[in-house]
Structure 1
Amino acid sequence: MLMFAHVDINNCYVSCERLFRPELEGRVVVVLSNNDGCVIARSNEAKALGIKMADAEFMVRKHLKENNAVIFSSNYPLYADMSARLMNNLSRYTYTLMVYSIDEAFMALGDITGLDLEKHACMISRNVMRDTGLPITIGVGPTMALAKLANKAAKKLKRAYLVLDTAEKIDNTIKNFPIEDVWGVGIAYYNKLVAYGIKTAHDFRELKSDFVRQHMTVQGWRLHQELWGKPCNIIRDVADRSKGIESSQSFNTYQTNLEAIEEAVAMHAATVALKLRQQKSMAVTLTVYIRTNKHNVKHDQHYPSITVKVPFAANSTHQLTRVAVQAIRAIWQSGYNYLKTGVRATGIIPEGEVQYNLFAGYEHSREQKLASLIDDLNKRYGRGTLRLAAEGFDRKWVMKQEFLSQQYTTNWKEIVVTK
């Protein structure tokens, strides 16, 4: 019998911060979004105070101060590194691991004949905490949807893991499980199901299969089948290249100068290139965009974007940066107060499937060697140690991070020192 496990980090960003600040256990802790704008992660203590996801920082500032809260700016290099450590650890327990997001993954458990799943899940949870210091929750089920559901149910029960390996356990768990919490039920599906009187996962499962296919397309039908324990989704051990790779960021203040915007675009292009190399992929097209603040009605609005074809599929920082900077020059217009820019790579293909032109003279091997050199030096001395001049040096436009913690694992200068 094939079983799946869904694993995620409890309060991921908060847990990463607490890992290096153990004195914060039991304290109210929140992590803020780009430019310290709103709450994107909360400790259980913060949740108990009524702090909600996406609450604007200025609206809850007084409440947090009154409760002696600890506030952090988002430290993405730290979170990404801790995520990589978790995924490497989880790969020891499965032949196929699918990284679903920075804080969660699906595992195929394979042939479980004779395996005590309760003890196995407990062992994984205990070992991950020992090896990474990160608290996780594990849901186990015969399909990916049921594994995800088991994970959420375990959190509600305040358990480290929950195993749904019998029809009785599945029935008892989905009986009162809210339909809006089921994996794959977005706002459109939710509104449609509520209109039909569907309130729980059990109600949804009781619908006729043909009715679900007719009103919820193939994806809804697959979810319906998975809640009955029939696997329809497949765990893939490679990155999903159909979604593309994006890097974007709001400025700390309005930008009207093209040079500053070019620096930001160059930085985003370099980030996209690095992500492509990490998953051994290359991009065929780049989309570059820039935006004003749609919430500021006093300013004229401008949301231009441009999609350009890369001469040859590439993951070279030099190549993608050159294309991205040329693109932003084509769409930028003076007289606007720009607040955000970004770069998105699409048409992503594996490195080994690139078709080159015999007469183009593109020095692929040279670009790859240069990219490898940059990656090696930055990995050794800290991200951003070596970068293209186009990315700028003083970067006065970077987002506000007044509460940024140290880059404990990615910067030699900020590594923890014992005395």
Structure 2
Amino acid sequence: MEGTVRPGWEAVRDAFGQGQARDHGHAQLAVHHHGRRVVDLWTAGPAATGSGGMGATGSGGPGTGVPGPRPFGPDSVGVLMSVSKALVAVCAHLLAERGALDLDAPVARYWPEFAAAGKADTTVADLLAHRAGLPAFTADPGGAPLPALLDGGARVRALAEMQPVWQPGSAFLYHALTYGHLVGEVVRRVSGRSVGRFFADQVAGPLGLDLWIGLPRREEHRFVPQSAGPPPTAERIAAAVSGLGLGPDHPLATSLRASSAELARVTRALDRREGRAAEIPGAGAIGNARSLARLYAALIGPVDGVRLLSSRTVDLARTPHTDHLPQPAPLHRLDGPDRARFGLGFELPRPGEPLLGDGSFGHAGAGGRLGTAHPESGLAVGYVCTAMSWDPSAGPDPRWVPWTAAVREAAGIPAVA
């Protein structure tokens, strides 16, 4: 482990080491407190290389865009998975704060084609809060093939034509990939720029962030791939959906199977240059912990003279927008106190998952990535890892538990009962 901590934050270094003790991959942890970086840690050493799929540990291989083993350090960048969703949300909130976008307005005001198939009343807030009823790009249970998934324009057109699986606004369920294209297309229609270009110009540029939605070729030498076991098979996905009490032909069942298959394909594609170059705004952003922490710090306060969002906008973004809603039938019978909670584009703490405490907001990514902030204490955190070993449905990543507690204690946040 290498890096620095400021006086009073030494326990975070020890806790980070504890959390990484059994991790076979690498990780970075950065913490800002009232706009100043107080923790900057990483595990050093050679990183695994890609092979066109997940779980690679050998040489790069044809088509991967990864030439061979490379060192892992603070400037390395990696896949962020669903942490990407928060980057997209920031773009939408910036446009709303500037008066160019009304989050309560129908999506069709900005994207007229979206009104098709019963979606005329779907609001931008419905998209941000996973209430739109469009969790997959196709009704085919096999999901869209990879070439189609890498064609952003085609995916947007497909979403505009689709009929929702449930009445938009009446329930919520995680939109693993479609979230990014749905919100990203609204950003494009309003700003005239793709969400990746808008983020680069309006967010990453002013703050000097190493964060991209669509990795430029010039940054490929810094990329370190993720490692994981093989993705779930179609049979395993079908069995899991069946276990939820859904018949195989139920529209929600086919949508969930399609979504899982699409996510598996995209995750594999991110180990190749073509996947990283594509704008996959729901899961394909690339970056590092330093930049994630700096981004969240600039959401809740000034960082080197730059503040992205006002306190009022942040409060709106972290206001619960799904606590009053069920999951779509028949999944509503599975609702419990530990279910996911969403504001407008951000995840909110669940009971038993305090992260930075009540009032914190952010987004996790499959495999263990995390970006989050706590406005009241001035905390902002970025965590990026290479070992994709965390199942979001199983509770907080065990690697987080030691250092999130240490960060709260160092910042004076009361212990969670």
By relative contact order (CA 8 Å, sep 6+), the higher-ranking structure is 2
In terms of fraction of residues, the more strand-rich structure is 1
In terms of fraction of residues, the more helix-rich structure is 1
Q: TM-score when scaled to structure 2?
A: 0.26
In our comparison, the structure showing a higher alpha carbon Rg is: 1
Q: TM-score when scaled to structure 1?
A: 0.26
